[in-house]
Amino acid sequence: MPQRRPKGFVPLGGVAKPHGIRGEFCIRSYADSPSVFGRVPALYLQEGGRPPRPYTVRSWREHKEFVLLTLDGVTDRDQAEALRGRTVLVREADLPEPQEGEHYLYQLMGCRVVLDDGSEVGVLEEFFETAAQDTWVIVDGQGREILLPAVPEFVVDVDLESEIIVIDPPEGLLDLYQNPEAQTGEPDDADGEASADAASSDAVAPELPARSKRPARGPKNRRKTRSRKRS
């Protein structure tokens, strides 16, 4: 079960390990751009359920798949080792203001997800990354997870004021998650089997994204979405 983030904070990553002997350490970053580490007045490190502790960033740089940080008050390897496993947070108020038509993904968590005709799909609970795009995890009223590739073709509208997201999923995607038995049912006779084979030769099933072990609910940097005022 994911750890609930403190109110008013957004996770930027997690402390992985020390780097060198001068207090520098590795961060597994959830952000699209590591520049956010140098654009906020303070970072906050949290251990378990304890209150986050503020630190001033002295320097940051990219190194392979990590972001390397040095913080005021962390000057040697032992002090950096003591931070291993802590969550790196930033205050929501300190994040750069998104441009018009863009949102931070954390702002979308908990929004209702509907089709363009108003039909209820579920609630956006989390997201994760695949090689091609972000994937949203929508949980419907029966508790079933629906994985939606978060690309402009499928995300029609985001209304943060109303906390509503309108989607236009690829044909058959919802049925694959909500009615899986209809996708795997066996025909009753040879004629039915032949009909099913004929139909399947013309239809292309939507590709299902695989779940990722990368932490969800990260502070993904700005994502462009089509936003409009819903009447």
User: What's the CATH code of the domain at 198?
Assistant: 2.30.30.240
Within this chain, do residues 107 and 178 fall inside the same structural domain, yes or no?
A: yes
Within this chain, do residues 107 and 146 fall inside the same structural domain, yes or no?
A: yes
Specify the pTM: 0.59
* Residue 231 lies inside a defined structural domain of this protein: no
Given 76, 94, 112, the domain boundary residue is 94
Whether 1 shows a pLDDT value over 50: the answer reads no
Within this chain, do residues 218 and 108 fall inside the same structural domain, yes or no?
A: yes
Strand pairing class (155-159; 102-103) = unpaired
* CA angle (209, 92, 106) in 5-degree steps: 15
Q: In this prediction, what percent of the chain has a pLDDT beyond 90?
A: 52
Given 94, 113, 140, the domain boundary residue is 94
* Average pLDDT over every residue of 111-133: 88
Whether 148 shows a pLDDT value over 90: the answer reads yes
- CB contact set of 153 (below 8 Å; sequence gap of 6+): 168
Token output for 154: 């499928």
Whether 174 shows a pLDDT value over 70: the answer reads yes
According to the model, what pLDDT value does residue 195 have? 45
CA quadruple 51, 222, 122, 159: dihedral positive or negative? positive
Within this chain, do residues 43 and 122 fall inside the same structural domain, yes or no?
A: no
Q: What are phi and psi of 157, to 5 degrees?
A: -155, 145
Whether 201 shows a pLDDT value over 80: the answer reads no
Within this chain, do residues 117 and 63 fall inside the same structural domain, yes or no?
A: no
Within this chain, do residues 179 and 141 fall inside the same structural domain, yes or no?
A: yes
Within this chain, do residues 137 and 177 fall inside the same structural domain, yes or no?
A: yes
Within this chain, do residues 111 and 211 fall inside the same structural domain, yes or no?
A: yes
Cα 119 to Cα 6, 43, 146, 167: the distances in Å are 33, 41, 15, 10
Given 94, 129, 153, the domain boundary residue is 94
Q: Which residues pair with 134 in a beta bridge?
A: 129
Within this chain, do residues 90 and 107 fall inside the same structural domain, yes or no?
A: no
Within this chain, do residues 56 and 113 fall inside the same structural domain, yes or no?
A: no
- Long-range contacts of 97-102, Cβ-Cβ distance < 8 Å, separation of 24 or more: 98/222, 99/222, 101/224, 101/225, 101/226, 101/227, 102/222, 102/223, 102/224, 102/225
* Residue 207 lies inside a defined structural domain of this protein: yes
Domain with 209 in it: 103-224
